């Protein structure tokens, strides 16, 4: 009967030990990579949730405005904007409820996304939010003979309306005193501007967040340009106007 010498036995044991160590190292390495990737994804979700004021696992309220001077009807671009917000909420693990722009009452413990400008009673709630929380903001009424028509004015600075060429959307985040969750207001000069602002912020929220002094309360202007060529796909941060927007002029 053949027997292994001591040296040969030690060699076999050494090989087995090396294989075992290799397997354990691979398993540990794979586990650490998985944990690191999971933590990375969790951090990304938390950063996104913090910017939009969403609490994963909770319900978001979308208040959708109507067409200018046509209460009860929604522009298809505003509907697309609401869909983008619903997708965002879903990605963050939230349920969604939808109300029209004449919705009354507190958003309570639901993060509210209010989409649309107040002109022509398109979104009455947006007008209420602006009056109650952003006293430094003026939305000039439509007047075909006035160069300030539909311009958004913040602290004396005007953001003019050039329909179909260059438009603006005001985006503000604040928490009403009677609520535990914030309102995220997207008030564009047109439905195109609303959609462009939401589309832009979904992709570039991290870069925008770096420009803000606070994520708890802010007001920014988003500029949409080249609309005839790029539609809602060309948007950029024009300016943070937080200080001027939340102080009565």
Dump pLDDT digits (tens) for 145-169. Answer: 899 999 999 999 999 999 999 999 9
Quote the pLDDT of residue 36: 44
- Tens digit of each residue's pLDDT (9 = 90 or more) over 18-48: 666 777 667 666 664 445 455 556 787 899 9
- Tens digit of each residue's pLDDT (9 = 90 or more) over 171-220: 999 999 999 999 999 999 999 999 999 999 999 999 999 999 999 999 99
Residues 81 and 9 in one domain: no
Strand 235-240 versus strand 218-225 pairing type? antiparallel
Residues 9 and 114 in one domain: no
Residues 6+ apart with CB under 8 A from 114: 63, 65, 123, 125, 126, 129, 183, 184, 185, 186, 187
Quote the pLDDT of residue 29: 67
Quote the pLDDT of residue 34: 40
3-state secondary structure of 19: helix
Helical ranges in 66-190 per DSSP H: 76-91, 124-133
Residues 87 and 173 in one domain: yes
Domain that holds residue 234: 57-245
Residues 112 and 224 in one domain: yes
Measured CA to CA, the distance from residue 75 to residue 81 in angstroms comes to: 10
Residues 20 and 101 in one domain: no
Residues 28 and 118 in one domain: no
Residues 30 and 116 in one domain: no
The percentage of the chain sitting over the pLDDT mark of 70, rounded to a whole number, equals: 85
Contact at 8 Å (CB) between 196 and 224?
yes
Closest of 180, 185, 181 to residue 245, by C-alpha: 185
User: Could you give the angle at which helices 6-52 and 76-91 cross, rounded to 10 degrees?
Assistant: 140
Residue 103 has pLDDT above 60, yes or no: yes
Question: What are 164-168's contacts with CB under 8 Å, separation 24+?
Answer: 164/227, 164/228, 165/225, 165/227, 165/228, 166/223, 166/224, 166/225, 166/227, 167/192, 167/193, 167/196, 167/223, 167/224, 167/227, 168/193, 168/221, 168/222, 168/223, 168/224, 168/238
């Amino acid at each position: 009967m053949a027997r292994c010498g001591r040296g040969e036995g030690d060699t076999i044991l050494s090989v087995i030990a090396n294989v075992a160590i290799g397997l354990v190292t691979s398993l540990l390495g794979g586990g650490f990579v998985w944990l690191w990737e999971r933590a990375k994804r969790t951090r990304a979700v938390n950063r996104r949730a913090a910017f939009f004021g969403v609490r994963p696992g909770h319900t978001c309220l979308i208040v959708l405005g109507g067409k200018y001077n046509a209460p009860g009807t929604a522009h298809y671009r505003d509907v697309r904007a609401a869909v983008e917000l619903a997708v965002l909420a879903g990605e963050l693990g939230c349920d969604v409820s939808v109300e029209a722009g004449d919705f009354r009452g507190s958003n309570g413990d639901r993060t509210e996304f209010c989409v649309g400008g107040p002109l022509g009673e398109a979104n009455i709630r947006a007008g209420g939010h602006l009056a109650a929380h952003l006293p430094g903001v003026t939305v000039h009424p439509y007047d075909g003979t006035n160069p300030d028509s539909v311009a958004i004015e913040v602290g004396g600075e005007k953001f003019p309306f050039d329909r179909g060429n260059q438009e603006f959307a005001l985006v503000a985040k604040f928490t009403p005193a009677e609520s535990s969750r914030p309102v995220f207001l997207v008030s564009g000069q047109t439905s195109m501007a609303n959609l462009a602002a939401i589309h832009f912020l979904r992709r570039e929220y991290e870069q925008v967040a770096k420009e803000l002094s606070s994520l708890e309360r802010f007001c920014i202007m988003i500029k949409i340009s080249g609309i005839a060529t790029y539609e809602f796909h060309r948007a950029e941060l024009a300016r943070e106007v937080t200080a001027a927007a939340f102080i009565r002029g």
